[in-house]
Amino acid sequence: MSIWEYANPVKFMRASGAVLPWVVGGAAICTLGGLIWGFLTPDDFKQGSTVKILFLHVPAALMAINCWMMMLVASLIWIVRRHHVSALAAKAAAPVGAVMTLIALITGAVWGQPMWGTWWEWDPRLTSFLILFLFYLGYIALWEAVEDPDSAADLTGVLCLVGSVFALLSRYAVLFWNQGLHQGASLSVASGERMSATYRYPLYLAMLGFFLLTVALILIRTRTEIRRRRLAALLARENRA
């Protein structure tokens, strides 16, 4: 029994179908719980009630990066071992990651408006996320544009590899660029060690919830893609007959 057995679409469908209700249930409980708990936390003495945005912003940002990493791993597995489920999982993860990036960007902008006095600051983190969003857009657009599914999987896989390197490179390049503009202007969100337990535990719960939610969405979308692929295969067989 190895993990590669799930590269078989039938096995994957059976296993994911069995796991899915639990993941969905856990995602619903943890996400709702984390967000509601977060919403009920007391106001921060400096940020006022805007601290509540944290519970939406941080988990979304985390998942935005995790989705891309998952796509990278899935693309590598497809390129090396050519398991179709892997390629489809990478395809399924892209829109989820793009939405997570967008949530992180929008909540960040809304938070920044009263806190920094501007909707948009060319802060290294914000800029890197904008760049990440561009990479997601390009990746999704390439999947849509290529007709042959295997070629699309290959091309997007290569793009994901090159894109990962450049996304990372951009991250550090942006850091360099912004330091060149305004020295030492660090506008980071309150980091973990400075945060009291009042905010930490609901944040952990929200993070777990977003993680499960992302897993659930990716599983469902992968199942959708597998079904679409099977449908296309059936139609092709029918046309040949």
Partner 1 sequence: MIDLGKYTVTVLSAYGAGILLLAGIILQTIAANARARRALEEQEKRG
Partner 2 sequence: MKALLIRDLRLATRAGGGFGLALAFFLIVCTLVPFGVGPQGGTLALIAPGILWVGALLSCLLSLDRIFALDHEDGSLDLLATAPLPLEGVVASKALAHWLTTGLPLVLAAPVFGILLHLPGPGYVWLVLSLALGTPALSVLGAFGAAVTVGLRRGGLLLSLLVLPLYIPTLIFGAEAVRRGAAGLDPWTPLVFLAAITLAVLALVPFAAASALRVNLR
Distances (CA, A) of 99 to 4, 133, 136, 158: 29, 9, 9, 22
| By the rule CB under 8 A, 182 interacts with partner 2 | no
CA distance 237 to 241: 6
Nearer of residues 48 and 192 to partner 1, judged by Cβ: 48
What sign does the dihedral 153-155-156-158 (CA atoms) show? positive
Partner touching 176 among partner 2, partner 1, none, CB below 5 to 8 Å by kind: partner 2
Is 151 a binding residue for partner 2 by CB under 8 A? The answer is yes
Within 10 angstroms of residue 59's Cβ, the number of other Cβ atoms is 29
Asked if 137 interacts with partner 1 (CB under 8 A), we say: no
Q: For residue 44, what are the β-bridge partners? A: 48
Q: Which is nearer to partner 2, 125 or 223 (CB)?
A: 125
Q: Which does 33 bind (CB under 5 to 8 A by kind): partner 1, partner 2, none?
A: none
Q: Which stretch binds partner 2 (CB under 8 A): 55-63, 106-114, 157-165, 213-221?
A: 157-165
Residue 95 dihedral angles phi and psi, to the nearest 5°: -65, -35
Please give the structure tokens belonging to residue 61. Answer: 């940002």
Interface with partner 2, residue 177, by CB under 8 A? yes
Q: For residue 44, what is the DSSP state? A: B
Interaction of residue 65 with partner 1, rule CB under 8 A: no
Residue 166 interacting partner from partner 1, partner 2, none (CB closer than 5 to 8 Å by kind):
partner 2
List 113, 118, 151, 179, residue binding partner 1 (CB under 8 A): 113
Nearer to partner 2, 90 or 131 (CB): 131
Among 36, 69, 80, 169, interactor with partner 2 by CB under 8 A? 169
How many positions of this chain bind partner 1 (CB under 8 A)? 37
DSSP state of 184: T
Using rule CB under 8 A, residue 13 touches partner 2: no
Give bridge partners of residue 48 from the DSSP assignment.
44
Radius of gyration of the chain (CA): 20
